[in-house]
Amino acid sequence: MHSNTRRTQLRQLIHTCLIASFATPVLVQAQAAQDPEVEEVVVTGS
């Protein structure tokens, strides 16, 4: 019974890691789409 619990915990850990590895790029891309683009302006004065 103890090994079954360990196996279940390992399976859940692997499942969580897989979901996180697929979800992270999607979330980063969605957040980048919401941010406005920043333009760099150089001001030179005399």
Q: What is the mean pLDDT of residues 14-34?
A: 83
> pLDDT band at 33, cuts 50/70/90?
low
Residue, of 39 and 2, whose pLDDT is higher? 39
pLDDT at 10 over 90: yes
Task: Map tokens 């941010």 to a residue.
Answer: 35
Q: What sections of the chain are H helices per DSSP?
A: 2-34
Give the chain's radius of gyration (CA, Å): 22
DSSP code of residue 37: P
